[in-house]
Chain A
Amino acid sequence: MSSRRSRSRQSSSGRITDQQIDDLMSKLQSLLHEARHGSHDRASAAKVLQDTCSYIRSLHREVDDLSERLSELLDAAGASSAQAAIIRSLLM
C-alpha cells in the first residue's frame, strides 16, 4: 500500500464515509492477495483483521441504533404520515 493515512476510525454517530470504506476494502484486498500468494506479513495482517472486526461491530451497532430510531419515528410520526413517507421513499 502506498499511503498510510492516520485517521480516526469510524464516526460514532455520523455517516460512514466512502473514504473509510475504500481504505478498508483495499486493505482487505491486499490481505486476500497475500493469502492467495503465500506471502504473509503477520503483523499488518493482524492489524487489518482487527480493524475489520471493529468496523463490522460498529456497523452492527449502527443497524441496532437505526432500528431503534426508526421504531421511535414510526411511532411518533403517526400512522398515515409515516406510511406516506415510506411510500414516498419507495418512489425516490
Chain B
Amino acid sequence: MESKSFTTGNRDNPNTDLHGSKNMMASHFLRALFRIQQTSTSSSSFAGRSRRIRRAAYASMAYSAGARRAWSRALLRKLRSRARLRFPRRLSRTARPQRRDMDQAQVLRKLVPGGPSMDYCKLLEETADYIRCLTTQVRLMQTVMDSISSYAHHPMIP
C-alpha cells in the first residue's frame, strides 16, 4: 500500500494541470465526509450514507474542474437539480459484436457527463479529462480510507 501523500506524492505528469484542483478536490471531499459523519446517526441507513458519500465524490470532482470543462458543467447541473446520479451500468446485451467506432462513441457519450451534446472530437478531449479526474478522485478515496483505517488501528495518544 502506498503511504505517500495524495497531493504531493504522485508522479508529476506534465499533461495534467491538476495540482491546484487536486487540493481543492481533497479539501472539498474531506469536508463533505466530515459533514456526513457528523449528521449521520445510528438510525441513518447505510445505503443512504453511501449515497451521500458517492454524491460528495462526484461533487468534488465537478467543483475541482469547475466551469472549465463541459463534463464538469454537465455534472454540476445534474447535482444541482438533485436528480439521482446515475451512470449506465450494464454492458449491452448483444455481447461483443464488431462495433463501428461511431456506435462505440454513442456508448461513450452515455458514460461521460454532457456526452450526448458533444461532437466526436470534443467527446474524446472531454473523456480524457474526465478519466484523469475520476482516477484522481478514486485515489483520493483510497487514501482517505487508508488513513481512517490506520487511525482506527493505531490511534494517536491525545
Docked Cα-Cα span, A79 to B24, in Å, equals 25
| A residues less than 8 Å from B38 (CB atoms) | 79, 83
Nearest residue, chain B, Cβ from A68: B50
| A residues less than 8 Å from B36 (CB atoms) | 74
* Residues of A in contact with B, size category: 35 or more
Interface residues of B in 120-143 (CB under 8 A from A): 120-121, 124-125, 127-128, 130-132, 134-135, 137-139, 141-143
Which residue, B6, B99, B132, B152, has most C-beta atoms of chain A within 10 A? B152
| B residues less than 8 Å from A62 (CB atoms) | 138, 141
The reply to whether B144 and A56 contact each other, CB–CB distance below 8 Å, is no
A81 touching B142 in the complex, CB below 8 Å, given contacts A49-B105, A74-B37, A74-B40: no
Docked Cα-Cα span, A67 to B107, in Å, equals 25
Q: Is the interface of B mostly helix, strand, loop or mixed?
A: helix
The reply to whether B128 and A25 contact each other, CB–CB distance below 8 Å, is yes
Docked Cα-Cα span, A23 to B24, in Å, equals 27
Docked Cα-Cα span, A31 to B108, in Å, equals 14
The reply to whether B121 and A36 contact each other, CB–CB distance below 8 Å, is yes
Is A39 interfacial (CB-CB < 8 Å)?
no
Q: How many residues of B contact A (CB 8 A)?
A: 64
| A residues less than 8 Å from B152 (CB atoms) | 73, 76-78, 81-82, 85
The 8 Å CB contact of A71, one of B49, B99, B125, B144, is: B49
Docked Cα-Cα span, A18 to B98, in Å, equals 29
The reply to whether B104 and A46 contact each other, CB–CB distance below 8 Å, is yes
Interface residues of A in 28-87 (CB under 8 A from B): 28-29, 31-32, 35-36, 42, 45-46, 49-50, 52-53, 55-57, 59-60, 62-64, 66-79, 81-87
Binding site for A on B (CB under 8 A): 2, 5-7, 10-11, 15, 26-27, 30, 33-34, 36-38, 40, 46, 49-51, 53-54, 57-58, 87, 89, 91, 96, 98-101, 104-105, 107-108, 111-112, 120-121, 124-125, 127-128, 130-132, 134-135, 137-139, 141-145, 147-149, 151-152, 155-156
Extra pairs beyond A66-B138, A70-B50, A88-B147 (9, CB < 8 Å): A28-B127, A49-B107, A56-B134, A57-B91, A60-B111, A66-B57, A66-B145, A86-B148, A90-B26
- 6 A-B pairs within 8 Å (CB atoms) are namely A21-B131, A35-B121, A56-B108, A70-B141, A73-B145, A77-B151
